Amino acid sequence: MVEIKTPEQIAKMREAGLVVAAMHEACAQAAVPGATTKDLDEVAAKVLADHGAKPNFLGYGGFPGNICTSVNDVVVHGIPSKDTVLKAGDLLSIDAGAIVDGWHGDAALTVFVGEGHSAELHELSRVTQESMWAGIAAMRKGNRLVDISKAIESYIRRQPRPAGGKYGIIEDYGGHGIGSQMHMDPHLLNYVERRRGRGPKLVPGMCLAIEPMVSLGTPRTHVLSDDWTVKTNDGTWSSHWEHSVALTEQGPLVLTARDGGRAKLAELGVEAAPDPLG
């Protein structure tokens, strides 16, 4: 069953989303050469405490961190560690979540640590981020779940890699419903798989975490012996971008973006819903 939220519940999710935005801002600023991923986890913990929010990652299935810190060929679910020291040229994905009064927010972004990144890495992050926005723009009343998947995949497939070849759309992980829990139905693929059909119709009150993960090579991954860290099979680097989005009667509201997604959606010809928090 897909959980449908009331406007009041969406407002609570917006509060959680703004905490996640603050976590991202603080962690991105702290992601400098010489910092450890454990340092970033401590920054995130302070933001949560300052806002009176709870982490939704810490303890989830036994996960030991407040955030996921995935470096270079780690796609997702990297565990913060004092032994992982960031260096100039690293590509870091930070996945963060928060709970406010029982309602969840979840988002991810890709950060360039220091300088020295190739044009190919900059393009990888741009393509991943823009495909996320293409998916968000497709979250419209009357569309179906597959329309979001199609928008994400179509955007990525239209982008040529600077060095040639194709981008790898990660197959084993994707977006999800979010609300009273962090991971809920429906599961959202970042590509179209015909045998799954079109999926549920998108209706006001539905909330989704839209999160493409894209590599410079293979779409296939494996999990390390810690039972969390996910790496690409061929060692190519990857990017991860995510926002939690609510569909309202007035259109989509990007819960984890400071402006509710208004500026970016306007570029795509979509009007964002009014912010319930003003």
Residues making up the annotated binding site for a divalent metal cation are 95, 106, 176, 211, 242
In angstroms, rounded to a whole number, what is the distance separating the alpha carbons of residues 189 and 205? 20
Q: Report the binding-site residues for substrate.
A: 77, 183
Cα–Cα distances (Å) from 186 to 65, 96, 176, 177, 198, in that order, read 25, 20, 6, 5, 12
Place of tokens 């801002």: 25
Q: State the residue for tokens 């970042």.
A: 190
Contact 125, 110 (CB under 8 A): yes
Which residues are CB-contacts of 138 (< 8 A; sequence separation ≥ 6)?
A: 147, 148, 150, 151
Burial status of residue 112 (CB atoms within 10 A of its CB: 0-12, 13-18, 19 or more)? middle
CA 148/CA 162 separation, integer angstroms: 26
C-alpha pair distances (Å), 105 with each of 122, 196, 197, 229, 254: 27, 27, 28, 22, 10
For the packed helices 7-30 and 37-50, what is the interaxial angle rounded to 10 degrees? 140
CA nearest 131: which of 218, 193, 242, 212?
212
Task: Note whether 175 and 207 are within 8 A (CB).
Answer: no
Residues at the binding site are 77, 95, 106, 176, 183, 211, 242
The burial class, CB within 10 Å (0-12 / 13-18 / 19+), for 3 is middle
What is the C-alpha separation between 119 and 131, in angstroms, rounded?
Answer: 18
